[in-house]
Amino acid sequence: MAMPQTDLSLVETAGAAPQMAVRVRGVSKTYGSVEALRNLSLDFPRGQLTSLLGPSGCGKTTLLKIIAGLLEPTAGEVEVNGHPVTGPGPDRAFVFQDFALLPWATVLRNVAFGLELRGVARSEREAIAEKYIAKVGLSGFEKSYPHELSGGMRQRVGLARALAVDAEVLLMDEPFSAVDEQTRRKFQEDLLELVAQERKTFIFVTHSIEEAVYVSDQIAILLPRPSRVSEIIRPEGLRTKDVANIRRDSEYLDIVDRIWASLRSYVE
Ligand SMILES: Nc1ncnc2c1ncn2[C@@H]1O[C@H](COP(=O)(O)OP(=O)(O)OP(=O)(O)O)[C@@H](O)[C@H]1O
């Protein structure tokens, strides 16, 4: 299940098409005197969900922003489908922690907004937006404004917007951190369904060990000082199980325990 960072045999043998949607190679990032990432390499298999899990401040958001092209690494490079990242691009969409919705626009306009920026005609972009509004469970709220929605619903609007632009890589920065536990569990179930249906590459930052084990095909554990990938875990057996039973599955419980054993010494 666990494998050294350089052993990609499990994912490279799966087929002839390029298996890695995103490759991060030797990336370092320093902010002034703060070394956020040092020589970090990590591959993200196409069509799968990879979680970045680690203690606060270990550089998860920094790595996500570098992949998004919002932040330049101090050293190293990121490739998306074999092309070096030099800035933001239509192949990647960011679902922000703090929603980043337009407060003056309806749900429909918010979801269609990325398409509007790309010059897609109104009728076409609204039809696409409707489809994804339904997919994230918000049908009937098209005409609502963000302040009329709960935090969880706003989060779904952000997700629908990212899906509507049809980016191949979805970057999610703790998307469920601001919602209550029940809503979070429902989101996690929905996310598993989306990963299966949409065949996109999801890169998912979370603080929660349980959440990472529940939703991920691959979990990269990041440790600080210096920031690095310490371990890659693939909970493969869980992905074929009924979502209703995962949380009491012995493989799930074992992986959660193992990750906690790795991380506990870093929690102050
Ligand atoms: N703009 C910035 N200027 C200076 N230091 C920064 C900046 N952004 C992040 N850092 C520092 O870089 C390190 C990594 O930060 P980052 O936000 O990537 O970590 P994280 O793992 O996402 O944290 P958290 O889980 O708390 O969100 C931290 O020590 C942080 O203080």
Render pLDDT for 29-52 as a digit per residue (tens, 0 to 9).
Answer: 999 988 999 999 999 999 999 999
Query: Is 30 touching ligand 1 by the criterion CB < 6 Å?
Result: no
Band (151; pLDDT cuts 50, 70, 90):
confident
Mean pLDDT, rounded, for 22-35? 94
Percent of residues, the chain, with pLDDT higher than 90: 53
Q: Which residue is closest in CA terms to ligand 1's atom 23? A: 57
pLDDT: is 183 or 146 the higher one? Answer: 146
Q: Measured in angstroms, how far is the CA atom of residue 223 from the centroid of ligand 1?
A: 13
Question: 20-31 and 34-45 as β-strands: parallel, antiparallel, unpaired?
Answer: antiparallel
Ligand 1 pocket test, candidate residues 27, 40, 60, 229, most atoms within 8 A of CB: 60
Cα(196)–Cα(11) distance, rounded to whole angstroms? 17
Cα(161)–Cα(74) distance, rounded to whole angstroms? 31
Q: Which residue is closest in CA terms to ligand 1's atom 9? A: 62
136 pLDDT above the threshold of 70? yes
pLDDT for 3: 45
- The one-character DSSP state at 237 is G
Mean pLDDT, rounded, for 174-187? 80
Mean pLDDT, rounded, for 196-225? 91
12 pLDDT above the threshold of 70? no
Q: CA nearest 64: which of 36, 83, 90? A: 36
Query: Is 61 touching ligand 1 by the criterion CB < 6 Å?
Result: yes
Query: Is 34 touching ligand 1 by the criterion CB < 6 Å?
Result: yes
Query: Is 97 touching ligand 1 by the criterion CB < 6 Å?
Result: no
pLDDT for 145: 95
Among 15-19, 108-112, 133-137, where is mean pLDDT lowest?
15-19
Among 87-91, 108-112, 173-177, where is mean pLDDT lowest?
173-177
pLDDT for 219: 96
Alpha-carbon separation of residue 34 from 25, 61, 69, 226, 268 (angstroms): 20, 14, 20, 10, 19
Band (223; pLDDT cuts 50, 70, 90):
confident
Cβ 25 vs Cβ 77: under 8 Å:
yes
Ligand 1 pocket test, candidate residues 58, 64, 225, most atoms within 8 A of CB: 58
Q: Which residue is closest in CA terms to ligand 1's atom 14? A: 59
Predicted model pTM: 0.86
pLDDT: is 199 or 26 the higher one? Answer: 26
Hey, what domains does the chain have and what are their CATH numbers? 2-91+200-266 (3.40.50.300)
